[in-house]
Structure 1
Amino acid sequence: MTVHQDDIEKLAELARLRIAPEAVAEVTDRIATILGLVDQLQSVDTAAVEPMANPLDAVQRLRSDAVTEDNRRDAFQAIAPAVENGLYLVPKVID
């Protein structure tokens, strides 16, 4: 894919990026190099490669899905300044 300096200038404008005029040529070369690497990666045949979630075959240790604490909602709401129908009432902060 060919990248031109005017493409980079337009993208910078759309992305609200400021690129110094003397740096546009360097940025264009860098982006062209990156896009070349992407094209090289896309040309690799991966049809026989099985997708994986982790390259290290790591297994995540999971905790059991069990309740470990008592329901203390009533105790917490008893000390709250304002409660109604099980909900905490707070002052309005936005008009």
Structure 2
Amino acid sequence: MEISNQTIEKLAHLAQLQFSEEEKVAIKVDLEKMVGFIEQLQKIDTTNVDPLIHITDAVNVLRSDEIKGNITIEKALMNAPSNDGQFFTVPKVIKK
């Protein structure tokens, strides 16, 4: 499948990215390879293949939580660059 320059521009706009002309050419080549691979996968006959929920039957084996030693608030905040006496304080990173 041919990927158009308009498609590259649209994807860049949606992802809020800017590319040089050389990067756009490289991205176009890579996308065409990916789409070609997907087209090959779509041609595979899977009529007699059972769908998988997971790749393997492996299951996570979890251990129960164990409470181990804890430290006081004062000790936890001792080396903190900034705190309010009870919590770590950090600069605001999310703007509303």
Normalising by the residue count of structure 1, what TM-score does the alignment of the two structures yield? 0.55
Which residue number corresponds to residue 38 of structure 1? Answer: 38
Using the alignment, how far apart are the partners of 1:37 and 1:2 within structure 2? 13
Using the alignment, how far apart are the partners of 2:52 and 2:11 within structure 1? 34
Q: 1:13, CA displacement in angstroms?
A: 1.6
Structure 2 unaligned segments of length 5 or more: list them.
Answer: 63-96
Which residue number corresponds to residue 54 of structure 1? Answer: 54
Alignment deviations for residues 9-43 of structure 1 (CA, whole Å, 9 cap, x no partner): 22212321111222111100000100111111111
Misfit runs of 4+, over 6 Å: none
Q: Secondary structure at the match of 2:22?
A: helix
**Root-mean-square deviation (CA), in Å?**
2.0
Normalising by the residue count of structure 2, what TM-score does the alignment of the two structures yield? 0.55
Using the alignment, how far apart are the partners of 1:23 and 1:61 within structure 2? 45
